[in-house]
């Protein structure tokens, strides 16, 4: 299970940018529009298999197998930092666990000693932690996905030819 425990304080696309694009000049939909930007960003991140703005995750790896070493491929690419790796014991306590990392394409492979207990990994991942460094094509994709959600477009939001092109350009290549 991979859960987000901390998100960036800002959104990848400003509310003002979306409102200008939609030609909205009132404030009574601001909360709704902010939610739409969050959803659009999450849809895009799931499609390109990486977070845009840095997030902190807690991933728990479960395995019934006991082997001399475990290779755990973290589910999110663009890992910036491993914060901690701990074994979760039967009584719920946690103990620090030794590990090494290897790059596996855009993803990170964690190698640990074997354990019959779950392994809890906290890490940060994302393309950037600065709004100004978000690629313009990703901002455009978030803008158009947000627009499609707002307008309740009949077309599938992620199937726009422009969005497909941007997603394919940012999707990691599979490493065999």
Q: What is the pLDDT along the chain (176 residues), one digit of tens a residue?
A: 889 999 999 999 999 999 999 999 999 999 999 999 999 999 999 888 899 999 999 999 987 766 567 889 999 889 999 999 999 998 999 999 899 999 888 889 999 887 788 999 999 999 999 999 999 999 999 999 999 889 875 455 566 666 777 777 777 765 55
Distances (CA, A) of 7 to 11, 53, 83, 93: 9, 8, 15, 26
Residue 169: per-residue pLDDT? 74
Residue 155: per-residue pLDDT? 55
Please indicate, yes or no, whether residues 48 and 82 belong to a single structural domain of this protein. no
Residue 135: per-residue pLDDT? 96
Please indicate, yes or no, whether residues 117 and 158 belong to a single structural domain of this protein. no
For residue 176, is it within any domain? no
CATH of the domain at 38: 1.10.3230
For residue 17, is it within any domain? yes
């Amino acid at each position: 299970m991979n859960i987000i425990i901390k998100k960036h304080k800002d959104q990848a696309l400003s509310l003002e940018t979306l409102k200008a694009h939609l030609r909205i000049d009132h404030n009574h939909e601001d909360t709704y529009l902010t939610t739409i930007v969050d959803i659009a960003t999450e849809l895009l991140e799931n499609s390109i298999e990486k977070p845009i703005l840095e997030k902190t995750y807690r991933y728990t790896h479960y395995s019934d197998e006991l082997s001399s070493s475990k290779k755990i491929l973290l589910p999110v690419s663009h890992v910036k930092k491993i914060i901690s790796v701990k074994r979760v014991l039967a009584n719920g306590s946690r103990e620090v666990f030794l590990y090494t990392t290897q790059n596996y394409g855009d993803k990170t492979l964690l190698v640990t000693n074997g354990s019959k207990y779950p392994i809890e990994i906290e890490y940060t991942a994302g393309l950037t932690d600065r709004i100004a460094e978000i690629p313009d094509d990703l901002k455009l994709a978030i803008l158009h996905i947000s627009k499609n959600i707002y307008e309740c477009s009949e077309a599938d939001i992620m199937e726009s030819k422009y969005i497909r092109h941007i997603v394919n350009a940012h999707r990691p290549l599979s490493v065999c």
